[in-house]
Structure 1
Amino acid sequence: MHSASDWLCFAVWESGSLVRSLTVSPDGGIGENIGAPYDFEHPYWAGERPVESTLSGDPYPLPFHPLELGQDALRALFGFILEGRPDPDDVDPYEVPLQGFRVADPTGHEQAEREARMQQLLQQMGSPRRYRMMPDGTFQEIADACSS
């Protein structure tokens, strides 16, 4: 979910196959709608969860608010929500332990090779150049004050 744009996207795979994918936003509408909707989606598609009002007073361009559907998707698929009042059975997502891993190069050779390759590439590229778009749509290189 992306709250600044009211965008929602989720997908579910089972045994390596896509079974459900939904992408929806007020600006783009329904970008993808693959597979049968899950039970938690039915009230939204049936018009039972309309957007009550908007700040502008204009009608909302979708029959439901994507972020509300997103919260219900989180609850149904993962057992928690991130916004709103949690149900008593919801998991506290901040209490779920996660495993962390550190990848190490015990000899140091891999990191040294990466750094040497990076230096080689930087030398091949030369100095950075900057351009300005002119009114006619062409680009003009901006002289670097440091190189003079």
Structure 2
Amino acid sequence: MGAKTGLLVYAEGEVPGLLRQVGAPDLGRTSEMMRRLYPGCEFEPCEGAQLWDGVYPQQGTAYAASWPGVEVVGDQRVMIDLPSQLPEHLVAASAGRRLVLHAMHSVVDPLAFERPYWAGERPADVIPWPDEDDEPYPLPFHPLELGEEALRALCGFVIEGHPEPDDIDASAVWLHGFRVTQLAAGRAAS
């Protein structure tokens, strides 16, 4: 497994249930969301992506969609070390809604879906490199497998894990693409 995510979801309820109901995202509505979330930036539309592929776009690109009740942004800029480092305006945009930040890491007490991993019930299947000592893996599970399970529990889909029958088909959810450029301070004020 080698999946990476930089994913923000704003939702008026449980994300999986809301994502199961979405259709094609409206470009105007999505562009307005981008202006709110990226003040002082210019946007140029570019090719979009399916949700499963849009959770970690290349630098300078964001994949996004806005539907009634749920908004999704995939952007490397939100893949931060600590959730407390998320810019204040991105947190404020969630007022009255649920905010999910998925960046394949967790620094809090284990959630329900994490317990089998920490209990050693999902051991890491690690194959050592040839001619290297077979040292035990330092965790009782592989962190990326835990990250995939977090993505399923919080958003209803996985990228590289085995899909469950009730998982969202992330290839059926479309995100618009945007090249995002930070404006110079003088240009942003004019």
Superposition TM-score tier, normalisation by shorter sequence: 0.3 to 0.5
Select the structure of larger CA radius of gyration: 1
So what's the TM-score if we normalise by structure 2? 0.36
Larger RCO, structures 1/2 (Cα 8 Å, 6+ apart): 2
So what's the TM-score if we normalise by structure 1? 0.45
